[in-house]
Structures are given as C-alpha cells and as structure tokens.
Structure 1
C-alpha cells in the first residue's frame, strides 16, 4: 500500500515528524517497507507565463520567449531561450531563475542556473520539463501548469512537493489498512489524535433512470448498490489534484470515470465499477457462472468460466467478473453519456484465488478477498456520485440498494488476566478499555473481561488472541519489560539429544518461553554476525 503522507495528515495529523510516523506504523505492525520524498531537492523554481515565443534567429529548434513571473521581476518580463516543442504563448510553466538549483545529476551535485547565451541570444533562466525536475520521465516538453496557477509562486508549494511517499508491507489480516482512511484510523488510535472522519451528503436524484438488480447467489454477494448517472461528459480532463494523488499511490491516470473510481478506492478502501448504461440488457443478476461461459475482460484477456466463479450478468451473458474486473463488452468509451455506477460486498471466500486462476490480480480483488466493509457501501457510493457530478456533470438517478445477507460480527471475549499473561506485563481493566475506545470497538464490560463486537471494517478480529494483539499494539511493544526467563536447573537422567523436540516444547512452554519460527533463508551477513557462521551455504 503506497500513499503520500500529506493525504494521511488530512485525516489525522499527529504532532510527530515523518520519521516518527514511520517508526510508529512499523512498531504497530504496519511495516514501512519504503519511504522517499516526492521530489528531489531543488530551489529557485517558480511559476511563469509565456507572453511571447518567437523563432530564434540562429537556430531552427529554439524559441526566444518573454515570460512573466509577477513581482519577482520588477523590471518586466524575462528573456528565456527554450527548445521545448510546446513552448507557446499563454501557458504557465516552471521557470528556474538565475541562481536556482536544479536536482542533482548523476554526480550527485546540484546544477546551478546562471545567465547563459544560446546561439548568440542571452537567456536569463531556464523553462523546465517534468523530467528536468525529476518529477517523471516525461521529456516531451515543458511541464504545463493550470492556467490559474499564481505567478511567481515556488513550484514546490504549487505541486505540494515537500511530501513523503510511504510504502507499507501489509499482512493479509490488515485489509482495513488498504486505504488512506484506514491507516488514519490506526494513527488516530495509536497517538490519540482526533480522526477527521469524512461525511458525504446524499445526492438528490434528478433522474428516474434505474437498472433492476437481483442477487441470485447470496453466498457470492451480500449487498449490491448502484445508480444511473445520465448526461456525463467522459472527455473532460481529470483534475490535477486527483491525477497527482493517484500517481503518488502508484496508479496512473486513465480517464475521468476510472480515475474517480480508483481515487475513492485509495481514499476509503471502496472498490467500485462503472458500466456503460446503454450496454446493459434488461436486469443485472449476480450469480455463479455457468460452466463453459466466457468473458472478455477489460485487460483484453478472455477467460472461460465455471460454477466456482461469480459473475454479474444480464440477459446477454456475463458482463463482469465478480469483485475482480469488468467486462470489455460493457466498458465505458469516450462517446458514452449514461453510466451505471456500482459498489458491492463480495464474500471473501467467493473471490479469493479467482483472479490468480487466470494469472492476473487487481486492486479490487486484493481488497475483496480480504474483506471490505459492507455497511458503508451507500455512503461511499454517494462520494463517487458527487465526484462524477462535479467533474463530468450529469443527472443522478435514485440509489438502488439490494441487501441479501450481511456478515455477522459475533462478539469476542477478552479476559484482562489472559491478556496480561500472553503479553507478559501487568494490565489493568482501565488500560484495556482505553484501547477498545481508541480503536472504535464497541464493548460491554464485566469484572475482569470485555465482550467486544468488531466493527464492520475489521474482518481480522475473530478470537481472543486477536484482541490481545490489538491491546499490545496500542499500548506499545516498547513498554514490554525486559524480564529474563527464570527456571531451575536440574540434572537430566536422559541425554538431551535423545529427547524429542515436542517434549522440549512441553517443558519450556510452561516457563513462559515463546516459540519463534524464523525464515529458512537469511542474509549471509546476518548468518555470519548473529550465528557466528563464517562459511554459510549460499543459494
């Protein structure tokens, strides 16, 4: 899971540094695998507008430009010689002024801009591409900025480049952290910082268009919600703030509708799909596939289905691979004006492993097979709808919410004494109650125990040990006391070599030893330094 720190801090902004945040997440079980700045160091690069771009008198591929940087140039426009093919009047672009430092080159040293002369014409700075700023590999021309970008403002502030990208290595039980909001919940619980939980106002329907939906297989889909949006403009440009955030999550921009769907998935953890409304025949039925049915997917693959694979189908056949990927036949082209937006709860066991059978994986399938919140589907669909209306326009129809069977969340008992024994440190009932509150877990309390009802987004809380893990994660592994194991030494009649490993386990387990299963393969340096093995076997 990759995300920018700035997006996380919009939901929860604890008073800690970036490095402290990384350490906090790692020590809570959300391993920070990688972190790096959004942009390399550079300075003195500001927003400029090209007022004039004329042919260089001595070079066919160069233009002599007059650029405006606002108050930064009280003597008037600056003259810049530029070779970019898209240098033209009216665009706003980054300008490295005299004295600016560009990102370090291969030698690790920054490149300082001075007054230059290109083919006999003075140049007082340099207009920059994204590649020259090392923001991307795009070297097709100058980096064009929105036309309303203020002149003279530092480009780092305009593009919010003083940011850090986090990459988390999440274990399968941490599906609730596969979104920025989910990680913010964790940070809020770990630090006590308030969570800025977003609320979304329901969209008022201005159209009566609907698509009938029937859940034929409740063991495949527990809930399905969708609505028609008519009159959308699918050829508008995706706003830069969405494109930038998607890029910082490792997702490229595709089209406005796809970008909106992906944005909400990273924001809230809600995968969704958008159909071309005109290509839906009659009602949509959620069912298990029939042996021998085929479906051409959006990635161009054609898969042969069987009764163990779920589909969304209409009278013409399967239109989507349930919880994994949409079909090519109902894809949204640029000429579409009416779309059908859906979000659903797919049972994890019904989705798990289905995409790998066809040798591919998707963000949606990755989330659904681990468990996605079934309760917030209508709320998240309102968020998607509002973004579509704001960006693409259109008229929204009524929300059609079909509920077949929601996942039950049976209460789990947590005993304070048991938690203290497993963790290995004293715990009070008040401390455990504080952890439950910070995690947003509903509970009833008795003497020495809690009866905890997991929230709809936590599929990993099923047994007492799961709650014990939550307690120590929030209390902090750093608070565990350093207590060496104590045991009496008695002579053994039998040689230790003749005792089975299971017998040894039974002896040491009551002495509070914990068995650790390590990786079979380790770094050769670790083997040498930690085990004293001077000649490890390398593979």
Structure 2
C-alpha cells in the first residue's frame, strides 16, 4: 500500500514527525517498507511563464524563448522541447540551480550561463524527467494556469511530501486505504479522526437498471446508480492525478481515475459501466463452462462455475470483484454510466486472479474483505466526484441486500491477555484500547465481549483481540522478562554428529556451500532423477520453478552453469537440503505431510582442475577417484563399499553406488554425457548425492592396546583374470583360514605386460599384495607365518583361480 503523507494527514494529523510516524506504524504491525520523498533534492527551480517563442537562427530544432521567471527581468532561454509555446507555465531552472544527477549517486547538474549555437541562454526550461518526477520526456512539464510565477516549484507541487509504502499482512485488509490507515493512526495516537461525510446527490431522473442476483454465496450486497449526460472529454483534475500517481496508479481517464481514487481513499473497489453498451439488465451469478470474457487488460479468458461474473442479456460483461470487461468499458464517447459497488464474499474471489495469471487491486482487497455496510455511501462519494468533474444527472440509488456477514462476538479475558502478553494489564486499559479502535463491546468483571465492526474481518478469536491490545499499547511497553522455564541442553549422542559438522568437513575438503530453492524446473527432475511425475506446485513463484525437487543434483548443475558463465574455471560446491518424494507409507506428522517423504540429502559437485593453479604440481582435471576419496574421508571411520551402478544423472560406466552395511545410501559418478551436452558444459563434472543420515553416523572409537608382539609382512605376486576386482581379492583373503593372523591386506601394484609373457596370458594381470600378520599373544614363527600365507594363496586359488607368479 503506497500513499503520500499529506493525504493521510488530511484525515488524521498527529503531532509526530515523518520518521516518528513511520516508526509508530511499523511498531503497530503496519511495516513501513519504504519511505521516500516525492522528488529527489534539487534547488533553484521556479514557476515561469513563456512570453514569446522564436525559431533559433542557427538551429532548426531549437527555439529562443522569452521567459518571465519572477526575477524582475525577462530571461532569454534556448529550448528544444516540442511543446513549448507562448502563454504556458513551466518549471524553470535559473542560473546556479542544482538539478538531480542523471545517474544515482552522481553529482548534481549545475545550470550555468552559456551559449547554445551562438545564442546566450539564461537558464533551462525543465521536463518532468529532468526533475526526476516521472519518466516522461516528451516535452516540458506544463503547470496549471493558477501557478504563481516565481514560486518555488518544490512548494508549488508539494515535492517535499513523503511517500509511505506499507508491507501489510493479509489480516490488515482494513488498512488498504488512506482512510483505513488514518483510522489506525488515530487509535494509536489518540489524535481525532476526520470522518468523511457522504451527502446524497439530488436525484434528477427515475431511471434504474434492472439487476438480478442469482448467487447469494457470491454477492451479499449490490448497489448501483445511473448517471446520465456525463462529459468524458474533460481532463482529470491535477490534484487527483497527483494523488493517484503518488499512490503508484497511472491516470487513465476521468471516470476510471475517479473509481481508482475512491478505492485508494476509502478502500472500496467499484466499477463504472458504459450504460449504453449494456443489453437489457444485469445478472450476478457463477460462470458457466464454455463462456468467454475479454477483460479490460486485453486478455480473453475462459470461465467455469468456480468464477463469479456479471452478465447482461447477451454476454458476460465483468469478472466479479476482479476486473471489468472490455465490451462495457467507458470511453471518450461515453455519455451515460452505471456505477456499481458490491460486497463480494472473500472466499468467492480468493485465488481467482491467480488462475488467470494476473492480479488486480480490486481482487487483492475483496479476497481479504471489504466493508459491506458502506456500498451506498461510497457510491455517493463517486457520484459527488463525477458530478464535480464530468457533470451529469444522477438517478435513484438501487441497493439490494441479500446476505451480509454475521460477526460473532469475541470475548477477551483480561487475565489471559496479561498472561499471553507477559505484563500486568487492567480492564480499564483493555477497554480504552477497544474504544480507541472503534470496537463496540460489553463489559463484565474480568471480561470484555467485542462485536467486531463491519470493516474488521480479522477479529475472530480471543488472540486477535489480545494482539490489538498490545499493538495499541505499544510493543515498547513490554518489560524485559527473562524466561522462567528451565533450559535443558539436548546432548547429542557421541555416535552422531550434527549437519554443521558435515558442512565444516566438506568445507575443509575445499567445497563451498550453496543454498537453492526447493522448487525446480520439471525438466531437471526428468533429466537428473528420472522422475516423470514430480510433485507440482499449485502456485509457483515463477513458471519454470513449478515442481518440488526429488534430487539436489539439478540445482548444483545450475550453480555450475552460473559460475561457468562468469568465467569460473574451478567449481567445487555442495548443498545440504531436503528433497520431496511421493510415498504413501509416510504418515502425517509434525515434520512431514502424509504421503510425502522429505529426507535430508547431501550432494556435491566438482568441476575443473583438481587444485588451483600452482607451480608445484601439474594441472589435471578432477576425476571420479578424487571425489571418491573425498567421500571416504567424509564417511570415515565407516568403511563404505563402492559398487558399479547406474543413475539417471550419471555416466553409465563411471558411476558407483555407496553402500554401508549392505544398504545403498547414495551414488557418485561423472555427469552423463547426454546432460553435459544438453546443459552446454565444457567437461563432465563429478557429482555425488547421499543420505544425510549416513554422514551423521560417527561410531565411537573402541580402545585397543598396542600389541607387545611384532607384526610380520609378506609380499605376494599372484596372477588373476582381468575381471577380478579389488573387492573380490580382499574378500578371498578375509575368507582364508589363517587363524586370525592376517591383520591387513593391501594391493600396492598391478602389472599388465604389453607383449606376450610366458606365465601371464593376454586376459590376465599380475597383482602385488602385502599381508600384515600378527598374533597378539605370541611371537610368530616362520612355520606359522608360512602356513598363513599358504592359506591365503589357497583361498585366492579356490575363489578366483589365482596362482602364484613364478
């Protein structure tokens, strides 16, 4: 909600400075999001009148003007504006004036005495854009004929007025107007409120437009009036244009401007029909499938029975409570009008604009609730302005009341209010707050029963009244009371670590954390998760971000593309976040939604060189085994198993699944070549994603005394088939019957001859293994050691067909 301070002070003018008023509103729950002056600082600009205009002798597009700026002498000013002419009054920057800089943060533009094409210019005639009043640069800013020559332009146009922009929560619908905010300021400060009076217009004819309301659950009250012989060729008054522009509303035409003005003034959206374009009468009903309507914004929409409409005898003419139709819009040819103001039920308007991908000020207000008791009075206000600006002959008021909201009484218990607020309260204090807010109430000892007024849709439960009490008393009156409840720290089991510890561990491995949206593009889900049916959002913040993610990889690839576009050659990023998957077995709980599984995942991506450029090591790209090593470090002291696997996002031959105790907890691998090409990546990054719970495990170390015996090592070279894996070798050694003497086994060399070798076939290779043997109780003898080695060789031969290399 944006409005000028001067308009607010016409209704309620408290003895507060602008900043004090802004602070008061913010502390009362009406957050002042922005506070700015109507125009930036400038000086030396006055109202001037153009006396004569002559063509510049040396330039076709310049004029030499004689100007009266109230200085006592006529000034000669060279001007190139196309709309300059004798008799107009315009802003004139005198010599020495300081105009706003062309760019924010720049130096002010100083006006100096100079020559343009040989003719001396003693100032500059200004456009609205040069004064930073608007972006209009089509010509000079022409002032009204009543502008006093020589007057300071800032004072004449009230350019020191401040613009307030409020960030209102949905429960503050009664503050979506200047008068509504003034009513709040009056309650907060005790300053008298100037209540507008609505004088009924003198009826000049008896014409009425037949209106039939078929849906009382759509419209609870409908008021209207015919006004004949209006003159739409007139200009909207400058004062109204000024206020609308300072509320962020672009002026359109006199009738539209009047309707918008009353909406900002009193919070009542209304609509003005061209009466001569209405066929027969009007009917208020729900839409029907197959009906279409061309709106004022030029869009043609298809309707159904969930949308309210106003129709005449031939077609749909308006989208109820949201926007009028193009067919009955007023224009310069309009002579007779029908003014409508209605009460549309909030639940009948809520969400309808979003279905058609647009929003309106009217829909924004009606879906939050607009006072149903003032439709007639507000039409009288519109009529007053129409007659004053466009003339016309008003007819009788037609007011149909069907079903109005019933406001159930709400009881405030003083004792409970004091307990919730956290400070002592008296019943007199609570009663005074309710009285200042204009709320009717009945008192009994310790209780006040409030009947919410017609403009307060938010007062429904006791907590709403408690909020009003402390809001008016002021949050600054709350005492600094420390909590009385005992604080007990949650001690995390030693066998688990926090997600912050995982973050620190990843950062220590040179990864940087990113935080991305939980909603992503549907294409990412198909590409990186193979998810053809992701969870769709009903109301996405942007059309591409339309589904909930079931993998973090799409977001990380997008981060990589963002960095590559900015010439970042080395990217190592990670994210810890939740993913969202359909799962009918998930119950409803505090942390989840029934049928939606929301596990925490950890994902990372590494692209570019393994290390930053340096002199000590040659540069090489990061590969699968580098990232595998990072994961082993993260999972230590657990012993993960990496097995070949497939994943929709990863290279089919360079992907592994990560297993812990036989359970798959994640995947690691190069990005699939198809996605590398589709997302235009210069090389395939290595990515990983695994369950956060796997990384949070931290087994407690078990003490083992240092052995008093000395270990014995033996190296073996065995020939195995090329298909034999490292894991198979280790399993065969572990299965050997050595009496528990083999403490560890390591593969430290692989030999694959280039040519033919007598003892190694073409499909074989030689692997070198180092065995460490130890008996905790006794010193190993050569006989026991040799027996254990032979047991290992026997196991390798039986399980893998391995043989000792000659």
TM-score, normalised to structure 1, is 0.90
Residue 196 of structure 1 deviates from its aligned partner by: 1.1
Deviation of residue 266 (structure 1)? 0.5
Indicate whether 1:250 and 2:248 are aligned.
yes
SS in 2 for 1:443: strand
Question: CA 1:152–1:175 in 2, change beyond 3 Å: closer, same or farther?
Answer: same
1:104-503 equivalences in 2 (<5 Å): 104-106=101-103, 108-487=106-485
Instruction: Tell me, in whole angstroms, the C-alpha distance in 1 between the residues paired with 2:317 and 2:302.
Output: 13
1:356 is displaced (CA, Å) by 1.1
CA distance in 2 between counterparts of 1:173 and 1:354 reads 19
User: CA offset at residue 414 of structure 1?
Assistant: 0.4
Query: Cα distance, 1:496 vs. partner?
Result: 7.5
Q: Distance in 2 between matches of 1:427 and 1:536?
A: 52
**Post-superposition shift, 1:17?**
1.2
CA distance in 2: counterparts of 1:239 and 1:439, whole angstroms = 34
- Once the two structures are TM-superposed, the CA of residue 430 in structure 1 deviates from its matched residue by 0.7
Moved more, 57-66 or 440-449: 57-66
1:538 to 1:130, Cα distance in 2 relative to 1, 3 A: farther
Deviations 1:477-504 (A, max 9, x none): 11111111124579x9x97879xxxxxx
**Highest RCO, 1 vs 2 (Cα 8 Å, sep ≥ 6):** 1
- Counterpart of 1:530? none
Q: SS of 1:173's equivalent?
A: coil
Equivalents in 2 of 1:115, 1:328: separation in Å? 53
Q: Tell me, in whole angstroms, the C-alpha distance in 2 between the residues paired with 1:401 and 1:206.
A: 18
CA distance in structure 2 between the partners assigned to 1:153 and 1:374 by the alignment: 45
Change (3 A) 1:468 1:496: farther
Q: Deviations over 1:364-385 (max 9, x none)?
A: 0110010000111111110101
Measured in 2, the distance between the counterparts of 1:336 and 1:169 equals 37
Deviation at residue 333 of structure 1 after TM alignment? 2.2
1:284: how far off?
Answer: 1.1
Match of 1:88 in 2: 85
Return the offset for 1:15: 1.1
Q: What SS does structure 1 have at the residue aligned with 2:13?
A: coil
What is the CA deviation profile of residues 290-320 of structure 1, one whole-angstrom value per residue up to 9, with x for unaligned ones?
2222111111112211112111111113211
Could you list the structure 1 runs, at least 4 aligned residues long, displaced by more than 4 angstroms after superposition: 494-498, 535-539
Instruction: Give secondary structure in 1 for the equivalent of 2:327.
Output: helix
Listed one character per residue, the Cα deviations across residues 93-148 of structure 1 (whole Å, up to 9, x for unaligned) are: 00111222211343532222232221222221111111111111111111101122
Structure 1 Cα separation of the partners of residues 126 and 288 of structure 2? 56
Q: How many residues align?
A: 501
Distance in 2 (alpha carbons) for counterparts of 1:388 and 1:337: 12
Measured in 1, the distance between the counterparts of 2:113 and 2:98 equals 13
Cα–Cα, structure 1 residues 495 and 244, in superposed 2: closer, same or farther, change >3 Å? closer
Name the counterpart of 1:51. Answer: 51
Name the SS for the 1:329 alignment partner: coil
Moved more, 442-451 or 118-127: 118-127
- Looking at structure 1, the residues matched to 574 and 22 of structure 2 have their Cα atoms a distance apart, in angstroms, of 33
Q: Which residue of structure 1 aligns with residue 29 of structure 2?
A: 29
Moved more, 99-108 or 24-33: 99-108
The root-mean-square deviation of aligned C-alpha atoms, in Å, is 2.0
Aligned to 2:42: 42
Q: Deviations over 1:467-486 (max 9, x none)?
A: 00000000111111111112
1:512 aligns with none
Task: Provide the C-alpha distance between the structure 2 equivalents of 1:99 and 1:284, rounded to a whole number of angstroms.
Answer: 62
Question: 109-118 or 46-55: which moved more?
Answer: 109-118
Whole-Å Cα distance in 1 between the matches of residues 493 and 168 of structure 2? Answer: 40
SS at match of 2:180: helix
Name the SS for the 2:273 alignment partner.
Answer: strand
Q: Which runs of 5+ in 1 are unaligned?
A: 499-518, 522-534
Closer, same or farther: CA 460–314 of 1 in aligned 2, 3 Å = same
Corresponding position of 2:95: 98
Distance 1:65 1:215, change over 3 A: same
Query: CA 1:419/1:55 → structure 2, altered by over 3 Å: closer, same or farther?
Result: same
Report the 3-state secondary structure (helix = DSSP H, G, I; strand = E; otherwise coil) of the residue aligned with 2:333. Answer: coil
- Report SS of the residue matched to 1:195: coil
Q: Deviations over 1:207-261 (max 9, x none)?
A: 2221011211111101011111111111211111111111111110111111110
Partners of 2:124 and 2:302 in 1: how far apart? 56
> How far 1:391 sits from its partner (Å)?
0.7
Give the Cα–Cα distance (whole angstroms) in 2 for the partners of residues 116 and 285 of structure 1. Answer: 68
Q: 1: distance between equivalents of 2:486 and 2:184?
A: 42
Query: How many angstroms apart in 2 are the aligned matches of 1:438 and 1:475?
Result: 11
Q: Tell me, in whole angstroms, the C-alpha distance in 1 between the residues paired with 2:143 and 2:199.
A: 32
